[in-house]
Amino acid sequence: MNISTEVLHLPLRDPFRIARAEPDRQMTTVIVELEWSGLRGLGEAYPVAYYGETPVTIGVVLPLLAEVVEPLGLPPANATDALEWLAAAERAMDERIGGHHAAKAGLDIALHDAVARGMGIPVRELLGTPEEIPPTDFSIGIDEPAIVAERALAAARFPALKIKVGGTADLETLERVRAIYSGPIRVDANTGWEPEAAAALLPELVRLGVELIEQPFRAHELGRLRWLQERSSLPIVADESAETVDDLDALLGVVQGVNVKLMKCGGVGPGLRMLRRARELGFRTMLGCMEETSVGIAAAAALAGLADWVDLDGNLLLASEPFSGLELDDDCRWRLGSSPGLGVERSGHRGLITTRFGPGSSGVEKSVENLVDQ
C-alpha cells in the first residue's frame, strides 16, 4: 500500500469567520492518495485544531493507520464483502489509535473511493444509500451586517442559507438577510451564545423565519442546550457536542437534531453509521462539512440521502481547487452521477510538499514539487 499526502493551502472566496475562531482567508487541508496493487483512491483529511488535529498530527497518524489496514489484504471485489472489509479497516484504525478522526477520514475516504473505483461503481451505489438527496444550503461567515446581506444576495439561488452568528450584531444581520432573501435561514452560533440572550432572541428568530439553531452553547454544556430546547419551537442542532456516534445517547432529550461531519467522526463508514443511529434515535439529521475540497464533499454527498438538512458547501467557499468532477444541479443538489468512486479527479497541479510513505520507503520521504497554480 502506497500513500501520498499533500498539504494544500487554498484561498477562500470571502473571509470566513465563526464565533469561536479568527477569520479564515485560506484553508489548509491534507489530500490523501492511495495506490495499492492497481487500486487507486483519493481521500481528504481536513484538520480542525478545535478537535485536536493539525497537518502535522495527520502526517504522523496516517502511516500508523496504513500499517494496520494493509495486513487485512486487498479488499474483496463484491459490494457485501467489500463493505465488511471497510468496516474491519475502520475497527483496525480505531484499535490502533483513539481520536484523530480527520486522519482516519482521510484513509477511510480514499479506501471507499478505491474500492468503488475497482468495482466500477459510484461510492453511493457501493453503500446503497438513497439516490434522492436534499439540496445543500450555503454558509456565510460573521461580518458587518451589510456585507453579510450582500453575500446573501449573491447566494440567493440556494434554497436555504446558513448564517454564522455569535458576533456583535446577530439580530441586525438576520434582519438584513431577511430583507433580501425569502428562503429558510439556519443560524449557527458555533458555541458563541449565552443562555439568557439566546432565549431572549428566540421570538425574533421565529419571526425572521429561522429554521434551526445550531450549537448555541459550548460543547459540554448539555444542560444549557436542553434548557434552550425546552423553550424553543425551533430545533436545536448539536454540532460541536456531537462528534461521533458515541455522543448520540447523551443528546437524547437534549436537542432535536445532530450535525454529522465526516471529519469529526472518521469518514464515510463512521458517518453512515452515525446518520443511521441518529435517525433510529429520532434525531433530525444534518450532514455538514468543514472548508473541504470536492474530495471531502463528494464523500459526504454519497450519504446525503440520509440527511434532513444538507450543509455541504465547503468547496463552494473556495476561490479555486485542484479537483473537478463534482457538480451542483440547478436546484443546488450535488449530482451523484455514475462515475466510479467519488467521481472526483485531480485537475490542477500538486501542492508544495508531498509526503510519501509505504512498504518500499525507508521511513518518511519528503519531496518538494511544483508550486500550486494560483
Closest CB to Mg ion among residues 41, 167: 167
Stretch that binds Mg ion, among 172-180, 191-199, 212-220, 295-303 (CB under 5 A): 212-220
Q: CA 252 to CA 249: how far, in whole Å? A: 5
Residue found by looking up cell 456583535 in the block: 168
Cβ contacts of 358 within 8 Å, gap of 6 or more: 1, 2, 3, 66
Closest CB to Mg ion among residues 44, 214: 214
Stretch that binds Mg ion, among 81-89, 135-143, 211-219, 273-281 (CB under 5 A): 211-219
Burial class, 127, CB count within 10 angstroms (exposed 0-12 / middle 13-18 / buried 19+): buried
Stretch that binds Mg ion, among 80-88, 90-98, 207-215, 342-350 (CB under 5 A): 207-215
Count of H-run helices and E-run strands, the chain: 12, 15
Q: Count residues binding Mg ion (CB under 5 A).
A: 3
Closest CB to Mg ion among residues 112, 186: 186
Which residue type occupies 297? Answer: I
Q: Is 346 helix (H, G, I), strand (E, B) or coil?
A: strand
Residue found by looking up cell 487541508 in the block: 29
The CB-of-49 to Mg ion minimum distance in angstroms stands at: 15
Stretch that binds Mg ion, among 35-43, 159-167, 206-214, 271-279 (CB under 5 A): 206-214
Closest CB to Mg ion among residues 138, 323: 138
The CB-of-190 to Mg ion minimum distance in angstroms stands at: 6
Closest CB to Mg ion among residues 239, 321: 239
The CB-of-367 to Mg ion minimum distance in angstroms stands at: 36
Cβ contacts of 207 within 8 Å, gap of 6 or more: none
The CB-of-144 to Mg ion minimum distance in angstroms stands at: 21
Burial class, 295, CB count within 10 angstroms (exposed 0-12 / middle 13-18 / buried 19+): buried
Which residue type occupies 47? Answer: P
Binding mask 150-189 for Mg ion (x = CB under 5 A): --------------------------------------x-
Cβ contacts of 303 within 8 Å, gap of 6 or more: 127, 129, 260, 268, 271, 272, 275, 287
Which residues are bridge partners to 292 per DSSP? none
Read off the DSSP letter of residue 370. Answer: P
Closest CB to Mg ion among residues 129, 241: 241
The CB-of-344 to Mg ion minimum distance in angstroms stands at: 24
Closest CB to Mg ion among residues 58, 163: 163
Which residues are bridge partners to 257 per DSSP? 237, 284
Q: Can you spell out the DSSP letters for 254-291?
A: T-SEEEEEHHHHTSHHHHHHHHHHHHHTT-EEEEE--S
The CB-of-239 to Mg ion minimum distance in angstroms stands at: 4
The CB-of-95 to Mg ion minimum distance in angstroms stands at: 30
Using CB positions, name the residue nearest to Mg ion: 239
Region 235-294 residues binding Mg ion, contact defined as CB under 5 A: 239
Q: Can you spell out the DSSP letters for 282-331?
A: T-EEEEE--S--HHHHHHHHTTGGG-SEE---GGGGBS--SEE---B-TT
The CB-of-87 to Mg ion minimum distance in angstroms stands at: 27
Stretch that binds Mg ion, among 86-94, 145-153, 231-239, 293-301 (CB under 5 A): 231-239
Q: CA 341 to CA 210: how far, in whole Å? A: 36
Question: Is there binding between residue 94 and Mg ion (CB under 5 A)?
Answer: no
Stretch that binds Mg ion, among 208-216, 247-255, 335-343, 357-365 (CB under 5 A): 208-216
Residues contributing to the site for Mg ion (CB under 5 A): 188, 214, 239
